[in-house]
Amino acid sequence: MTTNTTPDVNALRAICVELRADIIEMLCLAGSGHPGGSLSAVEILVALFWGPLRHDPKNPGWPDRDRVVLSKGHGCPALYAVLARHGYFPREELWRLRKTGAMLQGHPVRSFTPGIEANTGALGQGLSVAQGMALAARLDGSARRTHCICGDGELQEGSVWEAAMSAGKYRLDNLTAIIDFNKGQIDGHVAEVMPLDPLDKKFAAFGWHVITVDGHDLAALATAYAEAAATKGKPTVIIADTVKGKGVSFMEGLIKWHGVTPTREEADRAIAEIRAAGAAA
Amino acid sequence: MSATATRDAFGKALAALGEKHPEIVVLDADLAKSTKSELFAKAFPSRFFEMGIAEANMVATAAGLALSGKIPFACSFACFLTGQFAEIRIALAYSEANVRLVGTHAGVAIGEDGHSQMGLEDVALMRTLPGMTVLQPCDDIETARMMEFLVAHRGPAYLRLTRQKLERVHAENHRFMWGKLDTLRPGRDVAILTSGSPAKAALDAAEMLRDDGLSVCVVNAPTVKPMDAEGLEAIARQCGRIVTVEDHTVMGGLGGAVCETLAERFPVPVKRLGVQDIFGQSGDPDELTALYGLDARSIADATRALCQEKTPV
Ligand SMILES: Cc1ncc(C[n+]2csc(CCOP(=O)(O)OP(=O)(O)O)c2C)c(N)n1
Ligand SMILES: [Mg+2]
């Protein structure tokens, strides 16, 4: 997809810059957490939360809201930064991430944090939970849509494929899975640890509509979400090609930064770099 | 005092034992860096299986390897192993497969990652399986001895390990005795029974309680199953009151095992310290340890309170 230079996408790009800076700052202050998979998911979340998602931060319990399940729960700094910017809770909470008694837990917890739909952190469960939400929406006759964000390593869990199979069986066209295809996990590269190829064919064989997209291209993601909503009779999976650690040169593509947080000096360097790249764009 | 995480002691011992025992094979599920099975993987790449984030498959594969004469160590966080209880129950325990399940990141002391990554029910679940040995070392020395035991032992076993460093409480020449309690400090008035990480805090609590004129016995339970029923009864007869301490839910773990055993043999008042009927949460490891009542001061306070209670008739 060619770069779309409408003001809209430019505004979203500026938001991505701010979110990435927030993520780095949060993780630096927390002293633990997962930068790589938080940074890779920024555009996926922005294109959704500043795009088709129907939600009301003032009324997080609105029954007909669209649902977002972050199945790769360790990526929650990205979601927290998004929720804060939408006013689900005060921004100051970001700086208390992972502290004793904090609203923002190391992995998402519904009862602690407004805007969190399901408790995750054990990989491989979110897609089933999202499927349950999608089935309930159908029973309720509600137009609400359910989105589930999974890691690529996470797809190694057998339970993901049980969910893929049943969502295919039930033709859950109100369900969209987004794969943060960043090619890294903890012990190494996904292709070495446990290869997933051909991922698109696997999902297609399970009865899903498959979209492959540049996961950092906001316009392409917007088109993908629209295509998912328009697809009838099948669930849709958006395989978002991303870079783990996106936006910070010394983190990009490096397995090491999965679960290591930046020092103050590294964080300052990262934030300066993120802002400079944003200004230049 | 030297302090070592029991996962580190495990990783070192595993790699060393791999040299002598070619039938040892190791499986991990994308946490080899954290469980420390990585050391074995580097030394013996052909006997290491990286299963990816797929613990159910790992557990049942380990069972198949064991049923074919190998000695598999299957490693992950404790909470992700128990997540696959269906496989542990049938493919592994029921088949009497000679698998060693190694669950690291025990308890609230993992800190900031929060409840979803904390092993809090693993001892309880593993204890319910017939034939399953449940081991929990309290320092590096005990870990090393247990690893030697586990290579020779027949039958399924579970080894529970910590992320955090634990101060050494045993001498270099300490001997681990399977199924036996291990007295760390003699005493008459009350016994503090611990398994795993709280050993040092229990010893410190005993020291604090000297000022109260209490003679506190501190006992380590490296084997939670099979529980040393005779040894436990002897302690109950001698001290008359017992405090159990574990970084685990108080239901079904060490505290549960102690209460079940004593209720049928020699009931005495017991106070169970550990995670009560609540979830874990994120936080600084030391703050959480205190919040959940597992630091030396909390143990001392609870022990003192138990001693002040009237003995029931
Ligand atoms: C069931 C389960 N097993 C293991 C883990 C530990 N873990 C946390 S993150 C992670 C790697 C995840 O890789 P991926 O899904 O690709 O996420 P991303 O690259 O987006 O961070 C693992 C193994 C877990 N959280 N849940
Ligand atoms: Mg990944």
Q: Is the pLDDT of residue A1 over 80?
A: no
Q: Is the pLDDT of residue A2 over 50?
A: no
From the CA of A247, how far away is ligand 1's center (Å)?
A: 21
B55 among known catalytic residues: yes
Write out chain B residues lying below 8 Å of A185, CB-based.
30, 52-53
Provide the b/e sequence for A113-148 (b: ≥16 CB within 10 Å): bebbbbbbbbbbbbbbbbbebbbebbeeeeebbbbb
Q: Is the CB of B54 under 6 A from ligand 1?
A: no
> Could you tell me which of A194, A60, A138, A102 has the C-alpha nearest to residue B113?
A102
From the CA of A72, how far away is ligand 1's center (Å)?
A: 7
CB contact under 8 A, A102 and B283: yes
| Nearest CB neighbour to B79, from listed A30, A105, A122 | A122
φ/ψ bin of B52: left (φ > 0), alpha (ψ from -120 to 50), beta (otherwise): left
The H or E element that residue B254 is part of is helix B254-265
Token look-up 């929060």 returns: B114
**Angle at CA of residue B111, ends A95 and B100, nearest 5°:** 145
Atom 11 in ligand 1: which residue has the minimum CA distance?
A185
Q: According to the model, what pLDDT value does residue A179 have? A: 99
Helices H / strands E in chain A, number of each: 10, 5
From the CA of A255, how far away is ligand 2's center (Å)?
A: 9
Q: According to the model, what pLDDT value does residue B215 have? A: 98
Q: How many residues does chain A have?
A: 281
Window A:202-261, CB contacts with B under 8 Å: none
The greatest distance separating any two alpha carbons of chain A, rounded to the nearest whole angstrom, comes to: 52
CB contact under 8 A, B53 and A123: yes
Q: Note whether A256 and A46 are within 8 A (CB).
A: no
Q: How many residues does chain B have?
A: 313
From the CA of B205, how far away is ligand 1's center (Å)?
A: 38
CB contact under 8 A, B115 and A120: no
Test the A interface: residue of B42, B55, B77, B112 with most A CBs within 10 Å: B112
Confidence of residue A38 (pLDDT cuts 50, 70, 90): very high
Retrieve residue B74's tokens: 């299957």
Residue A220 CA, distance from chain mean position? 16
Which listed residue (B23, B38, B50, B55) is catalytic? Answer: B55
The H or E element that residue A148 is part of is strand A146-151
Distance (Å, whole) CA A184 – CA A257? 10
CB contact under 8 A, A124 and B53: yes
Q: Is the pLDDT of residue B183 over 70?
A: yes
Backbone angles phi, psi at A172, to 5 degrees: -80, 85
- What confidence tens digit (pLDDT) does each residue in A199-251 have? 999 999 999 999 999 999 999 999 999 999 999 999 999 999 999 999 999 99
Neighbouring CB atoms inside 10 A of A110's CB total: 13
**Angle at CA of residue A47, ends A43 and A52, nearest 5°:** 160
Distance (Å, whole) CA B3 – CA A280? 50
> Could you tell me which of A80, A137, A134 has the C-alpha nearest to residue A106?
A80
- What confidence tens digit (pLDDT) does each residue in B74-124 have? 999 999 999 999 999 999 999 999 999 999 999 999 999 999 999 999 999
Q: According to the model, what pLDDT value does residue A6 have? A: 52
Report the chain B residue with the minimal C-alpha distance to residue A123.
B53
CB contact under 8 A, A32 and B54: no
Our mutation pick for probing the ligand 1 site, out of A42, A72, A105, A189, counting the most ligand atoms within 8 A of Cβ, is A72
The H or E element that residue A264 is part of is helix A264-280
Residue A161 CA, distance from chain mean position? 19
Distance (Å, whole) CA A276 – CA B198? 49
Q: Is the pLDDT of residue A5 over 60?
A: no
From the CA of B280, how far away is ligand 1's center (Å)?
A: 20
Our mutation pick for probing the ligand 1 site, out of A71, A155, A185, counting the most ligand atoms within 8 A of Cβ, is A185
The H or E element that residue B46 is part of is none
Q: According to the model, what pLDDT value does residue A3 have? A: 42
C-alpha distances out from residue A104 to A30, A194, B163, B281, Å: 11, 32, 22, 10
- What confidence tens digit (pLDDT) does each residue in A53-96 have? 999 999 999 999 999 999 999 999 999 999 999 999 999 999 99
Q: Note whether B209 and B300 are within 8 A (CB).
A: yes
Closest ligand 1 atom number to CA of residue B117? 25
Retrieve residue A65's tokens: 């809201």
Specify the pTM: 0.97
**A60 touches B: beta carbon within 8 Å:** no
Report the chain B residue with the minimal C-alpha distance to residue A157.
B54
Token look-up 């055993």 returns: B261
C-alpha distances out from residue A261 to A250, B224, B238, Å: 12, 36, 51
Q: Note whether B140 and B8 are within 8 A (CB).
A: yes
CA of A256 vs chain B CAs: smallest distance (Å)? 11
Q: Number of A to B CB contacts under 8 A, please give it.
A: 93
Distance (Å, whole) CA A212 – CA A210? 7
Name the average pLDDT for chain A. 96
Q: According to the model, what pLDDT value does residue B311 have? A: 65
Retrieve residue B169's tokens: 């409480």
Q: Is the pLDDT of residue B313 over 80?
A: no
Retrieve residue A52's tokens: 């088709």
Hey, which residues does B273 pair with through a beta bridge? B245
Distance (Å, whole) CA A117 – CA A101? 20
**A61 touches B: beta carbon within 8 Å:** no
Neighbouring CB atoms inside 10 A of A3's CB total: 10
**Sign of CA pseudo-dihedral B108, B114, B118, B120:** positive
Window A:121-180, CB contacts with B under 8 Å: 121-124, 153-154, 156-159
Confidence of residue B312 (pLDDT cuts 50, 70, 90): low
| Nearest CB neighbour to B116, from listed A73, A100, A156 | A73
Strands (E), chain B: 3-5, 24-28, 48-50, 71-77, 100-104, 133-135, 157-160, 165-167, 182-185, 190-194, 216-220, 223-225, 242-249, 270-275
Distance (Å, whole) CA B140 – CA B13? 10
Q: What is the bridge-based pairing of β-strands A67-70 and B223-225?
A: unpaired
**A75 touches B: beta carbon within 8 Å:** no
Retrieve residue B50's tokens: 């990286």
Provide the b/e sequence for A222-250 (b: ≥16 CB within 10 Å): bbbbeebbeeeebbbbbbbbbbbbbbbee
Q: How large is the C-alpha radius of gyration of chain A?
A: 18
DSSP string, B198-229: THHHHHHHHHHGGGGT--EEEEE-SEEES--H
Domains of chain A by residue range: 7-280
Distance (Å, whole) CA B264 – CA B253? 17
Q: For each of the domains in chain B, give its residue range(s) and CATH number, in order of start.
A: 3-167 (3.40.50.970), 182-306 (3.40.50.920)
Write out chain B residues lying below 8 Å of A159, CB-based.
56
**A197 touches B: beta carbon within 8 Å:** no
Backbone angles phi, psi at B99, to 5 degrees: -100, 145
CA of B184 vs chain A CAs: smallest distance (Å)? 32
CA of B178 vs chain A CAs: smallest distance (Å)? 33
Fold exhibited by the domain A7-280 = Rossmann fold (3.40.50)
Q: According to the model, what pLDDT value does residue A72 have? A: 98
Q: What is the DSSP letter of A261?
A: P
Q: According to the model, what pLDDT value does residue A4 have? A: 39
Q: Is the CB of A75 under 6 A from ligand 1?
A: yes
